[in-house]
Amino acid sequence: MSDQFKLAIVEDNQTLASELELVFSQSDWEVYLADCGEELDYIMRHQDIKLIILDLNLPGEDGIDILKRVKAAYPSIGVIILTARITSSNKIEGYEAGADIYITKPARAKELIFAANNLLQRLVTDREKAKNCHVLDTKSLKLITKMGTPIKLTWSECNILRILAIAPSHQIETEKLKSDLGDPEITKEKIEVTISRLRSKLKNHHELSGAETIKAIWGKGYQLCISLEVKIN
């Protein structure tokens, strides 16, 4: 199935999630289900999701917080909020956080299908325009600059950039970074060496030579300081 039809549904009501999965699957979408932010993060790491249907009342991390950090890391992704929060202030908050469409529950399946198809069509057109940020291609292990220059990365360098890009406010504590890297042999010292090497590699390219790319937060961890869209093929 074409990647352009990959959809993530973030909904902790299992009955509703299953119903939506069935409806969208029958309409030629490839559907992935998550019931919280962590599960969505896992899906985003492994699939090139084009559109998210997001509930706001979720266990753990609130849907608005999820929306903000996902849109920061994947600015071209489409997001439809599907929620029981119905006030005008709720809707304004959702749009300010980056939602493309705000739909209140209950919603008819046909409305959701039309909304998703129309949004996808617009997003495909938008992606053809010039990008306003650098792109991290996790398949080829390259950072593609705004001007289209590819910078070859190691697996560790690429993974660190990916983790920082999707982290809340692009900041992460060192221990959390160690955990997310998934390497039991990784140490704080190895992370410092890898990030130092990565900074030098990025600064060797004229587009990034004058920019602070990754900042160390003393006693805490690191922060990504450049705009970066994550691409997963």
Q: What's the pLDDT at 25?
A: 92
Could you list the beta-strand ranges (E) of 95-197.
101-104, 134-137, 142-144, 150-152, 171-173
Q: What's the pLDDT at 127?
A: 59
Return averaged pLDDT per consecutive 10 residues of the chain, 233 residues in all: 74 94 91 94 90 93 93 88 91 92 90 91 64 82 87 94 91 93 89 95 87 89 90 69
- Whether 82 and 107 have beta carbons less than 8 Å apart is answered as yes
- As a whole number of angstroms, the distance between CA 232 and CA 137 comes to 6
Six-digit token pair at 4?
A: 């352009």
- As a whole number of angstroms, the distance between CA 78 and CA 99 comes to 8
Taken in order of first residue, the domains within the chain and their CATH numbers are 3-127 (3.40.50.2300), 134-231 (1.10.10.10)
Q: What's the pLDDT at 130?
A: 45
Q: What's the pLDDT at 19?
A: 93
Q: What's the pLDDT at 175?
A: 93
Angle at 165 between CA 44 and CA 220, to 5 degrees: 125
Q: What's the pLDDT at 159?
A: 94
- Sequence-distant (6+) residues with CB within 8 A of 161 are 136, 143, 153, 198, 224, 228
- Sequence-distant (6+) residues with CB within 8 A of 133 are 75, 146, 226, 227, 228, 229
